[in-house]
Structure 1
Amino acid sequence: MKIVVVGSVAAGTSAAAKARRNDESARITVYERDHDISYSGCGLPYFVGGEVETIDELTPRDAAWFKARYDVEVRTGHEVTDVDVTTRTVTVRDLATGSTFEDPYDELVLATGVRSVVPPLAGVDLPGVFTVRSPSDARAIRGWIEQRKARRAVVVGAGYIGLEMTEQLTERGIAVTVVEALEHAMPRMDADMSARVDAELRRNDVDLRLATRVSAIEGDHDGVTGVRVGSPEDGETVAADLVIMSVGVRPNLELATQAGVTIGPTHAIAVDRQGRTDVPHVWAVGDVAESFNLITGEPAWVPLGSTANKMGRITGDAITGGTLEHRGILGTSIVRVFDLGVAQTGLTEDQARAAGYDVEVLHNIKPDRPEYLGGKPLVIKAVADRATGRLLGAQAIGASGADKRIDVLATAITYGADVADLFHLDLAYSPTYATTKDPVHYTGMALDNAIRGTAPLITPAELDRRRADGEKIQVVDVRSAKDRAKGVVAGSVHLPLKELRARAGELDRDVLVVTYCNKGVTGNAGQNLLRNLGFAQVYNLSGGNQNYQAWAAAQRLGRS
């Protein structure tokens, strides 16, 4: 059997390696138009910033290594330009000589990955304007910075790569302006969590321009000098010695189109759970292929190296007679933004509502470990289905511990956990690593109480929306006078918890009450007290005053 793989990063090399492990007799050839293979694309920003010293650390394996280890022929500098599914051949161009040749296959694996989206802007092809997709890009950016002594950069786009590049350029002493067309950085998250990323960028002196578009890039043959933001007539030019375009990626579909495979609704190649396309003997893996959402079952496309590796292995197994199948994705991801880990898994609140779920939403603010051992706040936003109690998604942001908690929650979602199950997880405890009741435990307890108990929650967004719609709501601050002096929810009354039982008569029992404290625990105590005194509707403000103030600040910035 002759297997031809097009593309040699995570998915392509994983497919080739697994096929070889299953079948020693197969002839396997991998074509790659670049010169680097099996590299860590997610590590590229850290080479630019200098945290990774040499690019070799991100490209530990080369064609000779694959030949020696797996007897797989990896031909770099060779571009597959055409696919003929009738004759089962590919046409290959040797980029060094320009010559072309045909190579037959029994099974063809498309692992062509993605390309950076480059908007058709004036000046986008000027020297000093870069995308970040390959080691070649990273080498060029670092070289440009060092040769030109770049001091000012503009990063266009505030997704994963944009945020990583922003952090690394800032760490190099470069003044960074981030231009994001949407209303928040990290727009894949819900706005009330993305706003925390916005604040972290600004805390680190990043000039963050939200809801702003680039209209042109300015400069000359010697290099870029600035970026025009806003309209060409009324906009502003932001000075720049370097521009990073990180507005997104799209699947490389040229060969897929030639092969006649079906492109799915996500605009990636539609495949079955083993990577087969609907054209016989043609497979697709990694970022060029669709996956499906583990919760909804709908097609999904979230280009991540972790998913690409799995898909490659599964297809390499299937081609050689194996039974592995892809089980879907949750889009679990994490990125470091200066001092914060920013993580998510499953459905966001917005996605869950769009999918038709009646959701319960919790903002849980707890230290990642005891404060006496340096614990720092960790914010977990969790989304659950009210009808079934199933955990649907979570987002976590904190200086430490976000990675551990998001992985636990991703595992729980994968196996269909009810929120009540989270409390019963036997998680590792030591004060150097966690609290006795871990933030994951608290998340399960609070959501279960909200869904099945007597402790419903209300988010800051819902509270503001309902009050703006004219609904009468009594908002009760149950904190001490000292805490209240630090900031309040507008329109709230102050009834400290220790006085609440005696002063409950000051409230109307038939009007909805929302209690709140700093983070939510004391607010829940006040909520329980009022319900036991016969109040019909009592909600606790999700995440307390800390979460409300973060939400309010984001709203003010959005309007400014």
Structure 2
Amino acid sequence: MKVVIIGGVAGGMSAATRLRRLNETAEIIVLEKGPYVSFANCGLPYYVAGEIEERSDLLVQTPEALQARFELDVRPHSEAVAIDASLKEVTVRTSEGDYTLSYDKLILSPGAKPFIPPAKGLEEAKNIFTLRSVPDVDAITDFMELHQPKKAVVIGAGFIGLEMAESLVHRGLDVTIIEKAPHVLPPLDEEMAAYITKELKANGVKLYTGLAAESFEAEGKVVVLDTGERLESDLTLMSVGVKPETTLALTAGIETGIRGGIVVNEYYETSQKDIYAVGDAIVVKQQINGEDTMIALASPANRQGRQVADVISGLPRKNKGSIGTAIVRVFNQVAASTGLNERQLKMTNEKFEIVHIQGKSHAGYYPNAGTILLKVLFNPENGKIYGAQAIGEDGVDKRIDIIATAIKSGMTIHDLPELEFTYAPPFGSAKDPVNMAGYAALNLIEGVSESIQWYELESKQEEGYLLLDVRNEGELEKNGRLKGALNIPLDQLRERLSEVPKDKPIIVSCHSGLRSYIAERILKQNEYKAKNLDGAFALYSTVRPEKVEK
């Protein structure tokens, strides 16, 4: 069997090495149009920052090493430019000319390429870069060494854009971010992204949201926004997203779907016989709702590469889809998410509830316990977990990985309180934030508690709801008061119930939501109508700082 693999990173190389482990006699050829295979593209921003000191550390494997260990015929600088599915041949372009290569099985792993929106002056610019490969990072670092830029503009506030913004700040540059979406990190919901906005500003990053770069002037040294505002830039990074690299697939008449992605079945087979596809270029099923989507992440690509090798080798493997689990560090904050966000659920008209839990990365009494804000979205009728997001300095990865595993295994919100984790003060809490999210969700499902979201508070107040803040006076003086709130500390509430009018429904808030839940229970058992402000003051004041009186 002769297997040709197009694309030597992530999915392609995972497929090649797995194939060899299963098929010692197969002829396996890997074509890579770039100079490197099996490189750590997720590590590129950290090389710019200097956290990864040696460029060689980005190169996970070399063609020589892969030949020696796996007997793979790896061909860098070899671009596949056409596929003849009827003849089962690939046309390969090299510096020495073109040639044709036959195959029995063909695996496409072309990945995705940066999406660069059209803009006037872009072609004349000499200081604009993208970041997807080792040559890209070489171009950026060489430019910085030669020109010593002082001001940088990052266009796009997704994962790579934020990682590069941090890296450039660490290199001493004055950094500005431009994001067309209403907030940074569009995969996160607005209130969660607000914490990353706060962290960026605390580290001197200027931020423009809801705006786009319309044009470039002075060979890229001036970025013109769609408002007409002009920003100086010595170095500009384009990071507005990626699109599937499907030009080659189209030459074979392969069917494509949403956003031009390659359509595959559960066995990674394309519409052309004996041609398979994996990685960032394929359309996958969002495992939670079964909808077609594109998920450009390294972990799914590597898994798909291994699975397609199993399929070709006759092992019973199916593509079960992906849920999209990702994480990013932005200075001292970490943001992670898995599954569907609130915006996506609203678009699909799914019935859902939300809980925000504020907990600690480990036991609060043990030194250096960091705060974690965890958001979980779920179906209140059957407990299905739709997704989760978390923000914090430490322990965010652990909690999102747990919930991602719960989603993948079909657990419901009812299972979260039952999960058992290792516990000792330096490592966790006896009641982990994941457990607490489960408890809070069950309170909503079982009618023990009712809640409203941060964006509902103002409309509820207009309807006549009274806002009751049960924080202590010292907290109010230190952190500020919510406008229009009645303030009664929780420990005094029972004795001061007469100050709370019974003819109005009540919304209760504290700092994080725990004390306000206790207050809600006190009020309800004294025949008041009460709801809890989910996320409470800590969340609301971050998203709506103008509503806080200092």
TM-score grouping bracket, smaller chain normalisation: over 0.9
Partner AA of 2:308 in structure 1: T
Query: What is the correspondence of 1:115-134 to structure 2 with a 5 Å cutoff?
Result: 115-125=113-123, 126-134=125-133
2:173 corresponds in structure 1 to 174
Counterpart of 2:164 in structure 1 is 165
- 1:482 is aligned to 2:469: no
Structure 2 Cα separation of the partners of residues 319 and 395 of structure 1 = 37
Task: Tell me, in whole angstroms, the C-alpha distance in 1 between the residues paired with 2:180 and 2:381.
Answer: 36
**TM-aligned CA distance change 1:144 to 1:555, over 3 Å:** farther
Instruction: Answer whether contact 1:294 1:327 (CA < 8 A) is retained.
Output: yes
Distance in 2 (CA, whole Å) between partners of 1:61 and 1:10 is 12
Amino acid at match of 1:19: L
The residue aligned with 1:443 is: 437
Residue pair 2:40, 2:60 contacting (<8 A) in 1 also: no
**1:394 aligned to 2:392?**
no
CA drift at 1:212: 1.5
**What is aligned with 2:373?**
379
Deviation at 1:57, TM superposition (A): 0.5
Report the counterpart of residue 88 of structure 2 in structure 1.
88
Q: How many angstroms apart in 2 are the aligned matches of 1:49 and 1:146?
A: 13
Amino acid at match of 1:193: M
1:456 to 436, 450, 456: 450
Alignment match, 1:156: 155
Q: Distance in 2 between matches of 1:348 and 1:241?
A: 36
Contact 2:243–2:259 (CA<8 Å) still a contact in 1? no
Q: Which residue does the alignment assign to 2:240?
A: 247
TM (norm. structure 2) is 0.96
Q: Which amino acid aligns with 2:379?
A: D
Residues 312-350 of structure 1 deviation map (CA, whole Å, 9 limit, x = unaligned):
111111112111222221110000100011100111122
Whether the 8 Å contact between 1:458 and 1:539 is mirrored in structure 2 is: yes
* Contact 2:541–2:547 (CA under 8 A) maintained in structure 1: no
Within the alignment, does 1:550 sit opposite 2:542 as a pair? yes
Q: Distance in 2 between matches of 1:262 and 1:533?
A: 64
1:192/1:554 contact within 8 Å kept: no
Q: Summarize the alignment of residues 123-522 of structure 1 with structure 2, pairs less than 5 Å apart.
A: 123-125=121-123, 126-220=125-219, 224-231=220-227, 235-372=228-365, 373-467=367-461, 470-485=462-477, 486-509=479-502, 511-522=504-515
Q: Counterpart of 2:397 in 1: which secondary structure?
A: helix
From 110, 113, 121, the equivalent of 1:112 is 110
Task: Note if contact 2:155-2:161 (Cα within 8 Å) is conserved in structure 1.
Answer: yes
Check whether the contact 1:48–1:139 (CA below 8 A) recurs between aligned residues.
no
Q: Is the 8 A contact 1:184 1:194 kept in 2?
A: yes
Give the TM-score of the pair, scaled to structure 1. Answer: 0.94
Measured in 1, the distance between the counterparts of 2:465 and 2:460 equals 8
Task: Say which SS state the counterpart of residue 410 (structure 2) adopts.
Answer: coil
Over 3 Å counting, the alpha-carbon distance change for 1:209 and 1:541 in structure 2 is same
1:491 partner letter:
G
* RMSD value, Cα: 1.6
Is the Cα–Cα contact under 8 Å of residues 461 and 551 in structure 1 kept in the other structure?
Answer: no
Q: Which amino acid aligns with 1:305?
A: A
AA matched with 1:443: A
Aligned equivalents of 2:436, 2:259: Cα separation in 1: 36
Is the deviation greater in 481-490 or in 72-81?
481-490
Alignment-mate amino acid for residue 31 of structure 1: L
Secondary structure (helix, strand or coil) at the match of 1:21 reads: helix
Q: Which amino acid aligns with 2:226?
A: G
Per-residue deviation, residues 261-296 of structure 1 (Å, max 9, x unmatched): 221234311112221112111111000111111110
Structure 1 residue runs of 5 or longer lacking an equivalent are none
Check whether the contact 1:359–1:385 (CA below 8 A) recurs between aligned residues: yes
Counterpart in 1 of 2:43? 43
**What secondary structure, in the 3-state scheme, does the structure 1 residue paired with 2:188 have?**
coil
CA–CA separation in structure 2 for the residues paired with 1:462 and 1:65: 59
Q: C-alpha deviations, 1:220-256, integer Å up to 9, x for none?
A: 4xxx42212234xxx2221111110001100011111
For residues 89-116 of structure 1, the C-alpha deviation after alignment (integer angstroms, 9 at most, x for no partner) is 111111x22x111111111111111111
Instruction: State the shift of 1:177 in Å.
Output: 0.7
SS across alignment from 2:327: strand
How far did 1:418 drift? 2.1
- The answer to whether 1:541 aligns with 2:540 is no
Indicate conservation of the 8 Å contact 2:112/2:245, yes or no.
yes
Report SS of the residue matched to 1:155. strand
Which stretch has the larger CA shift, 186-195 or 455-464?
455-464
Q: Secondary structure at the match of 1:405?
A: helix
Q: Name the aligned partner's letter for residue 49 of structure 1.
A: A
User: How far apart in 1 are the matches of 2:215 and 2:88?
Assistant: 45
Deviation string for 1:53-78 (max 9, x for gaps)?
12210112011111111111111111
- Indicate if the aligned counterparts of 1:362 and 1:443 stay in contact, CA closer than 8 A: yes
The amino acid that maps onto 1:134 is S
Query: Take 2:546 and 2:52, find their aligned partners in 1: how far apart are those partners?
Result: 34
Query: What is the CA–CA distance in structure 2 between the aligned matches of 1:466 and 1:350, rounded to whole Å?
Result: 21
SS in 1 for 2:66: helix
Cross-structure match for 2:6: 6
Partner Cα distance (1:236, 1:476) in 2: 43
SS in 1 for 2:481: coil
Aligned equivalents of 1:172 and 1:8: distance in 2?
A: 31
| Count of aligned positions | 545
* 2:53 aligned partner, one-letter code: E
* Cα distance in structure 1, aligned partners of 2:291 and 2:9: 26
CA distance in 2 between partners of 1:374 and 1:453 (Å): 36
Q: Secondary structure at the match of 2:260?
A: coil
What amino acid sits opposite 1:484 in the alignment?
L
Q: Which whole-Å CA distance do the structure 2 matches of 1:212 and 1:252 have between them?
A: 27
SS in 2 for 1:313: helix
SS, match of residue 353 in structure 2? strand
Q: Confirm or deny: 8 A CA contact 1:527 1:540 kept in the other structure.
A: yes
Deviation at 1:555, TM superposition (A): 9.2
- Alpha-carbon displacement from aligned partner over 1:161-215 (angstroms, at most 9, x marks no partner): 1000000000011111111111111011101111111111101000111111112
